[in-house]
Chain A
Amino acid sequence: MKKFVWNRMRGVILLIAVAVVSGAMAGCGASGGKPWLQMQYPELNEIRMPSYERVELDNGMIVYLVEDHEFPLIELSATIDVGSIYEDADKVGLGEMTGTVMRSGGTSTHGGDELDELVEARGMQLETWVGQTDGGAYLSAMKEDTQMGLDLLADILRNPVFPEDKIKLAKEQAKAEIARRNDDAMSIARREGMKAIFGADHPMARHTEYSTLARIARQDLVDFHADWFHPDRMYLVVIGDFDSERMVGMIDKAFAGWAPATRALPADPEIPDFPRTVNVVDKDDLTQTTVLMGHKGIRADDPNYAAIRVANRILGGGFATRLFNEVRSRQGLAYSVGSSAGTGYRYPGMFMAFTMTKSESSEKAVAAILAEIERMTVEPVTEAELATAQDGILNSDVFSYDSTREIMDRLVMFERYGYAPDFLDRYQAEVKAMTVDQVLAAAQAVWHPEQLTILGVGNYEDWDGDFSRFGPVTMVDIEIPEPALDIPEATEESLIAGKKLMQGAYEAVGGARMAALQGHFTRRVMSAEIQGMAMQFTIEETVQYPNRQYSLQKTQWGNGSQVLDGDKGWSKSGMGEKDLTAEEVTAAQNGLKTSYIGTFRNLDEFTFQALEPRIVEGVECYPVYASGVGDDYMILFLRADNLRLRMTQAPGMSPMTGAPVTMKVINDEYQDVDGMVISSKSRMLYDDELFAEIETTDFEANPAVDETMFTK
């Protein structure tokens, strides 16, 4: 084991220039009524950097240790170079789920539930997680449980088993989160704001959907863990009541033999720099508007770093800032208002401003915030403001040393991202020497109010003024895409259950009468809105079983028809007449068998698989996956209360673009004709967008057939 004790800082006393006398108001006239200006402050006591050791294990893990014997506790926190930025775009949520199930699913020696019992019986805290740009693990335990806790921590990091039941549980949790994500305006603003600023598909903005969850399988978690969790990507900070020498030995043992990574980390995703867009989420149950604005910022190694932090301290990063004074205290427009400088250690940060204000002052608040930002970029701040900001930063710097945990986390961060350990000292020196011109120059270089992308969430029709004065407004649709149906492998039980359900439906809707039909005539009226234009057309269909069908479509621009006659067919329209191809004939024949009545006439030709019950627009349904006729499938959603068909879902083609879509027909009303239950009103949806409303106006069983229909 290579042990390198790095205690350059041990015992070194850091004297920080905190004894800055508040000078903000100095020279502002008589201070007789302002006793705080006369106060003299003693020198601040010494700040002592905690003694720590840095050890690199043979497997590449970096360990920082700080002994603290005040309380009989130990705390281990690991930072790992892993993150959701590394997951596949079509499996968003994989990283987070891996982090969750590592802990909840347990290991080969301790199952997840057993782990819960062990941990909670000892009052320990043990967690793992994967965030956007890093992951980690955390253990807090009483001193006497040190060995047990360390062993458990190492075990879940190294040997998670990812059992199916805990993956399912994690998916249920993730689904519930998706379902609830539009209940809170602030979380909508954050989510949609990130998408507006970075682009919806960007790894820093994209988010889980039902469809991305559905694509995640157990093997993906196993692979994600194997790919990213390695000792040489881990920084372990250990604080508490232990002996460092012994602790290093224990850690070395717990993680011995864990293989380092075999390939380098991928490059970080680029952060885009887009021009302004103005976006509105219209939610009519809100009386308050949440606004977020932002654009790309800078990294902490940028020369403007110190100055832009000072600038933000004046603009909106605190209690007595311009935004707080103007928007909250003076105009009384908001409870919360503020800004962040837009700096990041790893990525360029995000310059951001936010507020929550009543609907009727939405535009006013945005304009007020933009004006304050603008002002920062055109005129210098006052000397008094600068002094306040400098004092604030320098005087509060002592708090950078008041938590051992924070100090160590900062050291780890500097090491991960390549910053010098004395980064903070240099920053303070720069702040101390800052001038108003530097602040102005930084604001001009980093902040571009005209480029700030704006996103507002609220009841748009109640907003004051015209939001488009900030730019063309894009309305953002936040409707949650319905989950794709989970079609598990068919089992004997699910096939029997599917068949039984369809048999039940057959009884419920008069299937025997449908089977006895020789033919029927149906007239349907479809109302659709296509590219903003309301359209209505009528479809008249005459069927003679088993394989003849005449269908006439009447529109305001003329008629068209299609005929199927056994194994041939043709179509007619204003553009002339043409024969159906062999594929088109097969499709038409299958269409007859998979129609509503056709399905009940041909139950034996299908394979029916029962799926998990689900709610379709408020109605509990039993979905049945039907396949075997043609290449396509359909899913029939039978109402739980009466087994009538609530919805049919099938793959289809957009009539406008020809692109593949998911087609749904939802039946809202039914009628009884000669003991047969058929729909009377329904809606047709393409990819969950309403395409047409359909009313069945006529239905006649066994009609007289005019043979000329089947004559060319």
Chain B
Amino acid sequence: MTGISKLIRVGVLLSLLVAASSVAAQTYLDLENQVQEFTLDNGVKFIVLEKHDVPVFSFRTMVNIGSANEVRGITGLSHILEHMAFKGTPEIGTKDYEAEKKAMAAEDVAFLALKAERIKGEHADPEKLAALQTAFDEAKDAAREFVVTNEFGRIIEENGGKGLNASTSSDVTRYHYKFPSNRLELWAYLEGSRMSHPVFREFYTEKDGPVTEERRGGVDNNPIGRLLEIFQNQMFMASGYHHSTIGYLSDIENVSRQNCQDYFDKNYVGSNMVVSIVGDVEFAEVQRLARKYFSGIKRGHPEPVETFEPKQLVEKRLVMRDPAQPVFIAGYHIEDQSHPDWPVYEVIADVLGQGRTSRLYKSLVKEQKVAVQAATFPGYPGSKYPTGMLIFAMPAKDKTGYDLEEATYAEIDRIVADGITADELQAVKQRARANFIRGLRTNGGMAEQLATYQTYSGDWSEMFRVVESIEAVTLDDVQRVAGEIFVPSNRTVAIIETDEDAS
């Protein structure tokens, strides 16, 4: 329930971001003027939009931390931490916190002893290993005795919370649900407590159970998930986008509760946190409750990411032989979303591969009938750092990824050589306007955008500038940027070649 299918849904998410990023600013100044904000002393930023038509509100807590912040050994930890944020606090989810704390400490000791032996691999002593495993299982059971299972979630649900969930991406971690508006204080208490002093109870059961099953379901047992992970590994060799958000299995196995606590202490700090609330709330009341319940969050000094992807010099290709049906993926390196060319990427992605009138759909699906689906996403796997423009296509029956590859490059080459037409550019701008307005209609959608723009660009009001930025794109921009990014040496290609006998 918590978490998200990182690899695949990131694409969808980004397309939502793209869809959202467009405004007829002059018309919506009014809405923009209704947005209010404040910052707590510890740096937590609150953005509030009052809408009183229905007595409910939606919120997003967005933490400026994702798997791109992880280093080797702790891959997948941002996501594990997201799961752990549902396990309660010293007050919520325990029968006796003082006793539980001791039991968890014993559990940690047993885990580290087990890990130390297990990590020897073939050289591990089987008898010792079995004994350590038993000791660890017993310690785990002992700690579990103090747990009130899922009390945190239960409180939310019995008070009418809906859509309780969270997700982690390469860039950020987000938490959300919607609540009846008379429960604002309860919300503030619950959210403030878990963001200030969560307790990572059931840590080992959670990561070895649900988190590992999530990896199995989304990656290991899903051919496209599997391909996307390897694709990402290949396309990004150095940057934090190298590994998937779900992380490597061995890291999930070996990471300890202390690792998680350290990661939390370093990153879940005020300056990394944005909370947006949209709905039937009073700004002054939000302010009062925020001070009361969110002040326990530390101010902190998060470390910026230091490793960036070097320029790619050679084309990379990988072929996965698998019983599954074929797919074709190509990724081109592009800059991050604060780069002035970002709106141009969005225009290119739209014209190339979004909708029934896009170049790829018209050519590959309608005319040549080699594909049944062809789509483009700017910003895979994230957009906070220099990233990728992804092309994803599924061949028609009995066609191969190679059939599509050629046809795709032909369309790309046309854009590089001739650019796009004025009509196409005009249509992109019109779609951007319409999609932007559609994105304003729900409390959840508004909260998501306010938090996203605040987190990514440091200013929520940027969300109201995005249509302008698309409006400013010219035909020359498109051709210039297409020429820069669509070169073979900037490309990573991944293909599934169907082979019934492969395993």
Interface string of A170-181 (1 = CB under 8 A from B): 001101111110
Q: A124: which of B1, B434, B442 is its contact (CB, 8 Å)?
A: B434
* Bound Cα distance A381, B97 (Å): 27
| B43: interface (CB < 8 Å) | no
Restricting to A140-190, which residues have a CB under 8 Å from any CB of B?
Answer: 140-142, 168-169, 172-173, 175-180, 183-186
Chain A facing B: main interface SS: mixed
Restricting to A14-54, which residues have a CB under 8 Å from any CB of B?
Answer: 18-19, 22, 24, 33-36, 39, 41-48
CB atoms of B155 and A36 under 8 A apart: yes
Q: A319: which of B150, B182, B221, B324 is its contact (CB, 8 Å)?
A: B150
Residue of B nearest to A402 (CB): B54
Knowing A120-B357, A330-B205, A358-B216 are in contact, say whether A403-B442 is a contact too (CB < 8 A). Answer: yes
CB atoms of B427 and A45 under 8 A apart: no
* Bound Cα distance A401, B158 (Å): 18
CB atoms of B440 and A319 under 8 A apart: no
Q: Which of A272-280, A392-400, A598-606 contacts B (4 or more CB under 8 A)?
A: A392-400
A375 contacts which chain B residues (CB < 8 A)?
Answer: none
Q: A335: which of B155, B160, B214, B432 is its contact (CB, 8 Å)?
A: B214
CB atoms of B395 and A329 under 8 A apart: no
Interface string of A340-377 (1 = CB under 8 A from B): 00000000000000001110000000000000000000
Q: Given A395-B160, A402-B443, list of 4 further CB < 8 A pairs?
A: A41-B186, A71-B441, A123-B427, A178-B397
Residue of B nearest to A45 (CB): B55
| A495: interface (CB < 8 Å) | no
| A72: interface (CB < 8 Å) | yes
* Bound Cα distance A308, B372 (Å): 42
A184 contacts which chain B residues (CB < 8 A)?
Answer: 222
A394 contacts which chain B residues (CB < 8 A)?
Answer: 160
| B251: interface (CB < 8 Å) | no
B394 contacts which chain A residues (CB < 8 A)?
Answer: 176, 180
| B197: interface (CB < 8 Å) | no
| B149: interface (CB < 8 Å) | yes
B426 contacts which chain A residues (CB < 8 A)?
Answer: 121
| A388: interface (CB < 8 Å) | yes
CB atoms of B430 and A122 under 8 A apart: yes
CB atoms of A121 and B423 under 8 A apart: yes
| A413: interface (CB < 8 Å) | no
* Bound Cα distance A305, B452 (Å): 41
* Bound Cα distance A330, B159 (Å): 23
B431 contacts which chain A residues (CB < 8 A)?
Answer: 120, 123
CB atoms of A175 and B160 under 8 A apart: no
CB atoms of A287 and B91 under 8 A apart: no
Residue of A71, A117, A180, A334 most packed against chain B (CB within 10 A) = A180
Interface magnitude class on chain A? 35 or more
CB atoms of B56 and A402 under 8 A apart: yes
A660 nearest CB across to chain B (Å): 27
B435 contacts which chain A residues (CB < 8 A)?
Answer: 123
Q: B437: which of A142, A177, A186, A614 is its contact (CB, 8 Å)?
A: A142
CB atoms of A47 and B55 under 8 A apart: yes
| B456: interface (CB < 8 Å) | no
Restricting to B362-397, which residues have a CB under 8 Å from any CB of A?
Answer: 365-366, 369, 372, 394-397
CB atoms of B158 and A388 under 8 A apart: yes
* Bound Cα distance A141, B224 (Å): 34
Knowing A169-B366, A335-B210 are in contact, say whether A120-B355 is a contact too (CB < 8 A). Answer: yes
Residue of A nearest to B435 (CB): A123
Q: Which B residues have a C-beta under 8 Å from some C-beta of A? A: 1, 3, 27, 52-56, 91-92, 97, 144, 149-151, 153-162, 164, 178, 180-183, 185-186, 189-190, 202, 205-206, 208-214, 216-217, 220-224, 280, 323-325, 355-357, 365-366, 369, 372, 394-398, 423, 426-427, 430-435, 437-438, 440-443, 500, 503
Knowing A172-B372, A319-B153, A356-B217 are in contact, say whether A396-B440 is a contact too (CB < 8 A). Answer: no
B158 contacts which chain A residues (CB < 8 A)?
Answer: 22, 24, 387-389, 391-392, 395
Knowing A71-B437, A286-B221, A332-B208 are in contact, say whether A36-B190 is a contact too (CB < 8 A). Answer: yes
A431 nearest CB across to chain B (Å): 13
Knowing A120-B356, A320-B157 are in contact, say whether A142-B211 is a contact too (CB < 8 A). Answer: no
A616 nearest CB across to chain B (Å): 10
A379 nearest CB across to chain B (Å): 19
| A98: interface (CB < 8 Å) | no
| A642: interface (CB < 8 Å) | no
Q: A45: which of B52, B160, B438 is its contact (CB, 8 Å)?
A: B52
CB atoms of B157 and A392 under 8 A apart: yes
* Bound Cα distance A414, B185 (Å): 36
* Bound Cα distance A305, B318 (Å): 54
Residue of A nearest to B400 (CB): A615
Knowing A142-B433, A179-B325, A614-B398 are in contact, say whether A329-B150 is a contact too (CB < 8 A). Answer: yes
Residue of B151, B395, B427, B441 most packed against chain A (CB within 10 A) = B441
**Could you write out 18 A-B pairs with CB less than 8 Å apart?**
A73-B441, A104-B356, A117-B357, A123-B434, A140-B434, A142-B434, A172-B369, A287-B216, A320-B154, A325-B149, A332-B205, A335-B209, A395-B183, A396-B162, A398-B55, A398-B180, A402-B56, A615-B398
CB atoms of A175 and B213 under 8 A apart: no
| A116: interface (CB < 8 Å) | yes
CB atoms of B156 and A332 under 8 A apart: no
| A689: interface (CB < 8 Å) | no
| A288: interface (CB < 8 Å) | yes
A366 nearest CB across to chain B (Å): 15
Q: Which A residues have a C-beta under 8 Å from some C-beta of B? A: 18-19, 22, 24, 33-36, 39, 41-48, 70-73, 104, 113, 116-117, 120-124, 140-142, 168-169, 172-173, 175-180, 183-186, 284-288, 318-320, 324-325, 328-336, 356-358, 387-389, 391-392, 394-399, 401-403, 614-615, 618
* Bound Cα distance A44, B279 (Å): 13
* Bound Cα distance A272, B162 (Å): 34
A391 contacts which chain B residues (CB < 8 A)?
Answer: 158-160
Knowing A35-B91, A123-B435, A287-B216 are in contact, say whether A331-B209 is a contact too (CB < 8 A). Answer: yes
Knowing A319-B1, A334-B210 are in contact, say whether A288-B220 is a contact too (CB < 8 A). Answer: yes
CB atoms of A123 and B182 under 8 A apart: no
CB atoms of B217 and A180 under 8 A apart: no
CB atoms of B56 and A398 under 8 A apart: yes
A407 nearest CB across to chain B (Å): 10
CB atoms of A22 and B395 under 8 A apart: no
B280 contacts which chain A residues (CB < 8 A)?
Answer: 45
Knowing A325-B150, A356-B213 are in contact, say whether A401-B54 is a contact too (CB < 8 A). Answer: yes
A674 nearest CB across to chain B (Å): 36
A332 contacts which chain B residues (CB < 8 A)?
Answer: 205-206, 208-210
A96 nearest CB across to chain B (Å): 15
Knowing A33-B91, A319-B1, A320-B149 are in contact, say whether A395-B430 is a contact too (CB < 8 A). Answer: no
Residue of B1, B221, B442 most packed against chain A (CB within 10 A) = B221
Knowing A41-B182, A288-B216, A320-B151 are in contact, say whether A328-B221 is a contact too (CB < 8 A). Answer: no
* Bound Cα distance A495, B74 (Å): 66
B180 contacts which chain A residues (CB < 8 A)?
Answer: 18, 44, 395-396, 398
A200 nearest CB across to chain B (Å): 23
Top 4 closest pairs, chain A to chain B, by CB? A332-B209, A395-B160, A123-B434, A320-B154
CB atoms of A398 and B503 under 8 A apart: no
Residue of B nearest to A210 (CB): B397
B4 nearest CB across to chain A (Å): 12
B503 contacts which chain A residues (CB < 8 A)?
Answer: 284-285
B3 contacts which chain A residues (CB < 8 A)?
Answer: 335
CB atoms of B186 and A288 under 8 A apart: no
CB atoms of B160 and A398 under 8 A apart: yes
CB atoms of A47 and B54 under 8 A apart: yes
Residue of A nearest to B178 (CB): A399
* Bound Cα distance A331, B202 (Å): 10
Residue of B nearest to A313 (CB): B157
CB atoms of A396 and B161 under 8 A apart: yes
Residue of B181, B214, B355, B397 most packed against chain A (CB within 10 A) = B397
A35 contacts which chain B residues (CB < 8 A)?
Answer: 91, 189
A179 contacts which chain B residues (CB < 8 A)?
Answer: 325, 397
